[in-house]
Amino acid sequence: MGDPMSSSADLSTILNRILDTAADNLRIAKILVQMGLDPNNITYDALFDRLLEIVLANITLANMFALVGAIFFVATLLMQRMVPLRVANMVGCAFFATSGALSGSAATFLLYLLLLPVNAVRLRQLLRLVKKARSATQGDMSMEWIKPFMTERKYRRGDTLFKIHDTANEMFLTVTGKFLVKEINVEIPPGRLMGELGFLTPNNWRTGTVECIEDGQVLTITYERLLEIYFQSNQQFGYYILLLTSQRLLENNHRLQENISRLEATLAQEKAARETAAARGIA
């Protein structure tokens, strides 16, 4: 059996050699030698001339394409909207693929060539989303276009979807069945949105309690996904949500006015009845 102390010493020696070699390679003098400069005679002019030589030696058509591709890649990191980001990414991939072809690098060429159709498919999906979101702002209040982004869920009679003042994190679209907003005693039929007001409240609180009164199916989408659609659709979807919530608020206001009118009519009838009864008593 070998001596443990000897093995430890050998390992220590190897590590020390590795560290010494790494330190030697990182020395300024050695770097200058590798650049073709004399460490003992360094001037700004000599350094500038050498750097210029290196740059000029690397000015090739392949490197120029790679440089333009790098510029577009950096641009994608600065963009906030998805559509122009995808376009810039596709342009950058095209330049990188061309650079790989010119330099004879098959790996670079194939990598960026395969990224082009991936970005093209995502760009097409985004453009379709933008188009549908824009059509929604022009009066089409249909929710058909958002269904592919939603998840199916089923409820049975007596189930509570959410309660007033609960933390809201998703929106619902009714498909079948009936649902009741308990605070205002309003039934929600199929094809209606629920929970969209919680998306706009400051603390994302539910503004009512919704209960299932007839077995049914709903589609759900999280507020996080809604925000993704909002940013991807160039803010058109935000206006679309405002239209929906405004419509809901107007409906609630109209319903409140009707309730107030009925209450006033009831009070007037009761007052008239009391006055009639009092007049008969006096007579």
Q: Are residues 169 and 226 in the same domain?
A: yes
Gap between the Cα atoms of 184 and 199, Å rounded: 20
Say whether both 117 and 148 belong to one domain.
no
Residue 258, in any domain of the structure: no
Question: Does 240 map to a domain?
Answer: no
pTM of the model: 0.46
- Condensed to tens digits (0 to 9), the pLDDT of residues 40-66 reads 666 667 667 777 777 777 778 888 899
Domain tally, the chain:
3
Asked whether residue 51 falls in the same domain as residue 69, the answer is: no
Residue 168 falls inside a structural domain: yes
| pLDDT tens digits, 196-249 | 777 777 778 888 899 999 999 999 998 888 777 776 654 556 666 676 777 777
pLDDT at 252 over 90: no
Residues 94 and 118 placed together within one structural domain of the fold:
yes
User: Does the residue 250 lie in any domain?
Assistant: no
Q: Residue 38 sits in which domain range?
A: 7-57
Do the domain assignments include residue 283? no
pLDDT over 90 at 96, yes or no = yes
**63 vs 102: CA distance, rounded Å:** 9
Tell me the C-alpha distance between 94 and 267, whole Å: 76
pLDDT band at 91 (very low <50, low <70, confident <90, very high): very high
Asked if residue 174 and residue 132 are part of one domain, the reply reads no
Q: How many CB atoms lie within 10 A of CB 163?
A: 12
Same domain, 188 and 223: yes
Residue 272 lies in a domain: no
Q: What pLDDT, on the 0 to 100 scale, is given for residue 156?
A: 94
Residue 211 has which token pair? 């209960």
The domain that holds 182 is classified in CATH as 2.60.120.10
pLDDT single digits (tens) 152-181: 999 999 999 999 888 888 989 999 999 999
Same domain, 20 and 65: no
Across the chain, what does the average pLDDT equal?
79
Q: Are residues 130 and 74 in the same domain?
A: yes
Q: 25 and 66 share a domain?
A: no
150 and 230 in a common domain = yes
SS3 content of the chain, % helix, strand, coil (to 5): 65, 15, 25
Task: Considering only CA atoms, give the Rg of the chain.
Answer: 35
Query: Quick check: is 253 in a domain?
Result: no
Q: How far apart are the C-alpha atoms of 168 and 165, rounded to whole Å? A: 8
Strand ranges inside the chain, DSSP E: 151-155, 160-162, 170-174, 178-181, 186-188, 193-194, 210-214, 216-222
Whole-number pLDDT of residue 65: 92
Question: Are 70 and 48 contained in the same domain?
Answer: no
268 falls within a domain = no
